[in-house]
Chain A
Amino acid sequence: MANSKVSQDTGDLVLNRVSKFYGDFCAVDDLSLTVPDGSFFALLGPSGCGKTTTLRMIAGLEEPSQGTIHIGDNDITTQKPYRRNVNTVFQNYALFPHLTIFENIAFGLRRRGIKDVKTEVENALNLVELGHLAERKPAQLSGGQQQRIAVARAIVNRPEVLLLDEPLGALDLKLRRQMQIELKRIQMEVGITFIHVTHDQEEAMTMADTIAVMNQGKIEQMGSATDLYESPKTAFVANFLGQCNLIKAKVQSRAGGKAVVTAKGHTFEVPLSRVSTDNDSVLLGVRPEKLRLDDKGINSIKDCVVTDRSFVGTSTQYLVRTPWDLELVVFEQNDEGLHDLHVGDKVSLEWDAEHTFALDGAQDINAGADLEEEE
C-alpha cells in the first residue's frame, strides 16, 4: 500500500500469565504466549476453549483478571480498545449498517483525524478488490464481500496486530477456501501480525505460520502445522488435528535412541525423540495415512479384519479391527498399489518406527476427538 504509515517493527505481542474468570468459571487459565511481529498466528480450539476470550482481551474488549499484555515495550493490559493500535475483524463482520462501504472503511481513519481519507480507503478497497462497491450499504453485499470489507476496514488503520475472530465461519466451503488464500496473500502484502481464531483445524493449518492449540483455557501445544500434526505432544492435539490412531501400551526399554513398547503381546518401536513422556504407560500414536496394509515392518499387527470401507476419491478409508478389538483407521492412496479390500477380509497392518509417537498414558485417549463438529 502506498503512503504507508504502518508502525513497523513495533515488537512482539506478549501475553504474560493471563487469566480471565467469569465468577467461578475460568475461561483463560494462566496463559503465556508470544506472537512474533509480522507472523500469521492461529489460536485453534473447540468452542468454549477460551480462544475468543483471549482475542477479546488483546482487543481490549475484556480486561484480564490477572496477568499482563504487551506489544513490544508497551503495556496495553488495561488500555481502552480505542487507544490500542489493534483492530479486529469480527465474527459476522459487524459492519455499520447505516454507513456506506466507503464510510465504514473510513471510520477508523476519521476518528483518528487522518487527513487523506480518500486515498487510504481506495487503497484498502483495491487491496480486497472491491473498489466498485464504495457507495453501497453493507446489506447490499454478499457474505463474502462483507467479509472482505470487514478486513479492509480493519487493515486500513495499519494496526500493529490484526485480530480475526472466526472470520470465515459464516461462509460456504468454497468461498472459505478462496478467502483463506486471500487472507494469506493480504497478510504477506501488508506484513501485519495476524492472530486468527478458529475451530477449523484445516483452516489453521492452511493459513498460519504458528498454531497454538487451546483447550480448557490453556495452550496444549504450539508450533507449525507440521510439528503439531506429525509430533503431537498430547492426546488432545493428536485427536483434534486430523484423525489419529492411539493404542494403549507399556514402555519396556529406552536405549539406543529408541523405546521398545508392548501392547497386547505385540512389540513396537518408537524413536526416543518422539516419546514425550517419562511415564512408562503410554499412548502409542500413528496417523491413518502412515499405516500400510502389509506385514513386513518392525511395527506390525497381524490377523486384523476390515470392518468398514469408504471410498473418498483421493483415498480409500478402511476401518480395521485388531485381534484385541481396537478399531484403527487406515487411509490408502488411490494409486497403483491399491489393495481394494472388502469388509470381512483378513489383513495385516504395518508402519515405520519414525512415524510413531508416544504420549503420556495418563491422558484420556479420546480427548479432542469429534469436537470440531460441535460448532
Chain B
Amino acid sequence: MSTLSAAPMPSLSHRASRWFSRNLIRIYAGLAFIYLFIPVAYTFAFSFNDAGKSNLVWQGFTLDNWKNPCGAPQVCSAVANSIQIGLLSTFIATVLGTMIAFALGRHKFRGRTSTNLLIFLPMATPEVVLGASLLAMFLNLRVNPGFWTIVISHVMFCISFVVVTVKARIASLDPRLEQAAMDLYANEKDTFRYVTLPLVMPGIAGAALLAFSLSFDDFIITNFNSGIETTFPKFVYVSAARGIPAQANVIGSAMFFIALFIVIIGQVVSRQRKKS
C-alpha cells in the first residue's frame, strides 16, 4: 500500500526554468517573427505619419497619405511602370522558362548539361555586374535605355528562376501518369494538355509569382538600364536623398497586405478543397 503524501512544492526557480524550457521554441519563434516584421511594422506605422518634407521623425497621426496615395509627385506613375514591366516580363519569362524547363527535364540532347549550368549563371552573377554589362551591350547596340531595355533585362534574370522552379515540379511528376494517359487513348498533344500541364501548373504559377516579385523589386539592374524611365524602387531610391514621401510607405504597405491577402485566400481555398 502506498500512501498519498503531499509532494514538496517545487522551488520557484525550478518551476520557472521548467516553464522556460517547455516554451523555449515559442519564445524563439516569437523573437524571430519580431525580427522579421519590425521593418514592415515600421513602414506601416510611418505610412500614417503626418510628414512634411521628410518622413524620418514621427510628427503625428494622419490618414491623408492613405486617402491620397498619389499625392507625392511621380509616385503613382512609377508604380504603374513597375506593374507594367512586372507583368510583361513575368509573362515572357514564364512562357520561355517553362519551355526550357520541359526541354531540360524531359529530353536528352547535345549540350543539355551545359545548358543546365548556364541557366544558373544569371542567379550566381552579382546584379551590379549584370546591370553594368547589359547597359554596355545596349549602348553598343545603340539602343536607348528605357521601358523595353528594362523588360529585356528583367526577362533575362527571371528566366533562370522560372526554369529552376518549373523543372523541380516536372522532376517530381510520376512518368506513369503520362503513360497511363497514353494508355487511355490520349495522344501526345492530349496527354500534355489534360495531364502534364495541369499537374505542372502549380509550379508554373509559383514561378510566375516569383518572377513578378523579382521584377517589381529589382533596383540594381533597373537603375543601370532604365534611362529616364522610373520604376517604384528607383523612385524610392532617388527620393531617399531628399526625403521619401509617406506615400511610398502607403504603397509599400499596400503591396505587403495584398500579398498577405492572396496567401490567406490561397490557404482558405486549399483547406476547403481538402474538406469537401
B198 x A153 contact (CB < 8 A): no
B22 CB-CB contact with A under 8 Å = no
Q: How large is the interface on B (under 10, 10 to 19, 20 to 34, 35 or more residues)?
A: 10 to 19
- Roughly how many angstroms separate A170 CA and B241 CA in the complex, as a whole number? 67
Which of B152-160, B183-191, B214-222, B256-264 forms contacts with chain A? B183-191
B181 x A107 contact (CB < 8 A): yes
Cβ distance A169 to chain B, nearest Cβ, rounded Å: 14
Q: Work out how many contacts link A and B, with CB atoms closer than 8 A.
A: 57
B174 x A112 contact (CB < 8 A): no
Q: Please, which residues of chain A bring their CB within 8 A of the CB of B174?
A: 94
Q: A94-B174, A96-B195, A97-B199 are in contact. Are A111 and B179 (CB under 8 A)?
A: no
Q: Please, which residues of chain A bring their CB within 8 A of the CB of B184?
A: 82, 87, 107-108, 111, 153-154, 157
Q: Please, which residues of chain B bring their CB within 8 A of the CB of A97?
A: 177, 199
- Roughly how many angstroms separate A81 CA and B178 CA in the complex, as a whole number? 11
- Roughly how many angstroms separate A104 CA and B174 CA in the complex, as a whole number? 16
**Cβ-defined partner of B176 (8 Å) among A82, A87, A90, A111:** A90
**Cβ-defined partner of A82 (8 Å) among B185, B195, B199:** B185
A341 CB-CB contact with B under 8 Å = no
Which residue on A lies nearest to B179, using beta carbons?
A61
- Roughly how many angstroms separate A302 CA and B188 CA in the complex, as a whole number? 69
* Residues of B contacting A: mostly: helix
- Roughly how many angstroms separate A96 CA and B187 CA in the complex, as a whole number? 16
The number of chain A residues with a CB under 8 A from chain B is 24
Cβ distance A86 to chain B, nearest Cβ, rounded Å: 8
A96 x B183 contact (CB < 8 A): no
Q: Please, which residues of chain B bring their CB within 8 A of the CB of A92?
A: 176
B185 x A112 contact (CB < 8 A): yes
Interface-central residue, A60, A82, A87, A112, by most chain B CB under 10 Å: A82
Cβ distance B198 to chain A, nearest Cβ, rounded Å: 5
Q: Please, which residues of chain B bring their CB within 8 A of the CB of A157?
A: 184-185
- Roughly how many angstroms separate A157 CA and B181 CA in the complex, as a whole number? 13
- Roughly how many angstroms separate A174 CA and B176 CA in the complex, as a whole number? 27
Q: Please, which residues of chain B bring their CB within 8 A of the CB of A59?
A: 183
B185 x A94 contact (CB < 8 A): no
Chain A 48-98 interface residues, beta-carbon cutoff 8 Å to B: 59-61, 80-82, 86-88, 90-92, 94-98
B194 CB-CB contact with A under 8 Å = yes
Q: Please, which residues of chain A bring their CB within 8 A of the CB of B180?
A: 88, 90, 94-96
**Cβ-defined partner of B186 (8 Å) among A82, A87, A90:** A82
Cβ distance B56 to chain A, nearest Cβ, rounded Å: 52
A111 x B185 contact (CB < 8 A): yes
B182 CB-CB contact with A under 8 Å = yes
Q: A82-B187, A98-B199, A107-B194 are in contact. Are A61 and B182 (CB under 8 A)?
A: yes
- A contacts, CB < 8 Å to B: 59-61, 80-82, 86-88, 90-92, 94-98, 107-108, 111-112, 153-154, 157
6 contacts between A and B (CB under 8 A): A82-B182, A87-B183, A88-B180, A94-B180, A111-B186, A112-B185
10 closest residue pairs by CB, A with B:
A108-B184, A111-B185, A94-B180, A94-B176, A81-B182, A82-B185, A111-B186, A88-B183, A107-B184, A98-B198
